[in-house]
Amino acid sequence: MTLGQLAFKDLLRNPTRLLLTVLATGIGVLAFVFLQTVISVFYSGLAVTQPDRLAVRSKISITQPLPLSYKRRIESVPGVTRITYAGWFGGRMSETREDFFPNFYVDKATYLKVYDEYVAPADQLAAWMADPCGAMAGKSLAERFDWQIGDRVTLKNAVYPGEWTFTVRGIYAGRTPQIDTTLFAFGYRCINERLPEELRDYVGIYTIVVDDPARSAQVAAQIDAMFANSAYPTRTESERSFQMSFIAMSSAILTAVRIVAYGVLLILLLVVGNTLAMNVREKTVDLATLRALGFRRRHVAALVLVESLVIGLAGAAVGLLLAPPVLSGFVRVVSESFGPIGTVVITGPTYALALGASVGVALLAGLLPALRAARLQVAEGLRRIA
């Protein structure tokens, strides 16, 4: 019998306990994956940022608009190759939170030239461009409300008074799975023409593309200096730090989620450690016998560590298999009762992290019992009645 076979037999000496431990580990891994995915949803905006894109918004606050006339002036800054603008419309189909979705006005002619991660079929794109009040809906948004091309969507809005009807002209997808496909975008012209005088010709935010990302700080400074003394001063920063500023506001919640995720690992450590300690205690006589037969300390320790490794791997397998269905169930329940949440995908790094954490925790939990097994005095071990 090889050492491996011996370890295997040893594992099966208490099948109930093994099963329970693996299940508990699996559930811990599941919770860990879940929490990591929640964190990555917060950060998903970062995954799609590009180093050559800068955001120009009002320095006063994100809810303050910028004049449409800034477009020409920003465009003229050396280094700026493309520019587009967009703004939060905030319309609702009804007053309930459940059927809320993010909706924006954009500059149709330039928007997709800057944000090339959104893709739509060429004919739909042309139809969207041609209709001033045509809207482009994300794939998952269209699925949620079962919208087809040509459907009409009416939104109410408190800031821009009245009812606004848009026709779905296109359905876009993302270039990668992380791209948000829950958005609804229509042309600025459609609403601008109907706005009261004092609201007309103001937009939310400009996005520019610079020719050389290394020079973006210089370009940003130049833009901000241009408007510093106007009634609408700007703050220009890279798309990444723009997104980060939103994440930073939720940082307390994110920290709490992180702490809980590590709490999960701590519980895993306790459960696996408990099992292994019990196993070693119950096997004291066997281990002492092995030592008496001439096995070295390191063999005995390896026996325990192999056991913990198997528990860690099996637990990770259970948890990672359970994670996708549980997560999608959770997303479904939450979006039914509480409105939609962004696109949720478990990323490769999360899987790898969970696998590593599970195995690492299991090995860590095996460390003390393994040491105890290795330090065992042969004579005393043989004498002991477990």
Three-state DSSP class for residue 231: coil
Stretch that binds another protein, among 2-10, 217-225, 254-262, 352-360 (CB under 8 A): 254-262
Residue in the block written with tokens 């007053």: 95
CA distances in angstroms from 319 to 169, 232, 329, listed in the order given: 42, 52, 15
From candidates 78, 150, 177, 263, binder to another protein by CB under 8 A: 263
Minimal distance, residue 249 CB to another protein, in Å: 4
Q: Give bridge partners of residue 4 from the DSSP assignment.
A: none
Distance separating alpha carbons of residues 88 and 91, to the nearest angstrom = 9
- DSSP letter string over 171-191? EEEESSTTS----EEEEHHHH
From candidates 95, 146, 197, 325, binder to another protein by CB under 8 A: 95
Question: Interface mask (CB under 8 A) for another protein, residues 224-243, using x and -?
Answer: -------xxx-x-----x--
Going through 32-106 in order, the beta strands assigned E by DSSP cover 53-58, 66-67, 80-88, 103-106
Q: Please tell me whether residue 69 binds another protein under the rule CB under 8 A.
A: no
Q: Please tell me whether residue 285 binds another protein under the rule CB under 8 A.
A: no
From candidates 50, 110, 124, 157, binder to another protein by CB under 8 A: 157
Q: Which of residues 122-151 bind another protein (CB under 8 A)?
A: none
Q: Please tell me whether residue 23 binds another protein under the rule CB under 8 A.
A: yes
Write down the H helix ranges in the chain.
Answer: 3-11, 15-47, 70-75, 108-114, 122-130, 139-145, 188-192, 216-227, 239-249, 251-282, 284-292, 297-338, 348-374, 378-383
Q: Which of 363, 386, 373 is nearest to 287 (CA)?
A: 373
Question: Interface mask (CB under 8 A) for another protein, residues 317-356, using x and -?
Answer: -------------x---x---xx-----------------
Single-letter amino acid, residue 77: V
Q: Please tell me whether residue 97 binds another protein under the rule CB under 8 A.
A: yes
Minimal distance, residue 267 CB to another protein, in Å: 5
Q: Tell me which residues touch another protein (CB under 8 A).
A: 16-17, 20-21, 23-24, 27-28, 30-31, 34-35, 38, 59-64, 90, 92, 95, 97, 156-159, 161, 198, 231-233, 235, 241, 245-246, 248-253, 256-257, 260, 263-264, 266-268, 270-271, 273-275, 277-278, 330, 334, 338-339
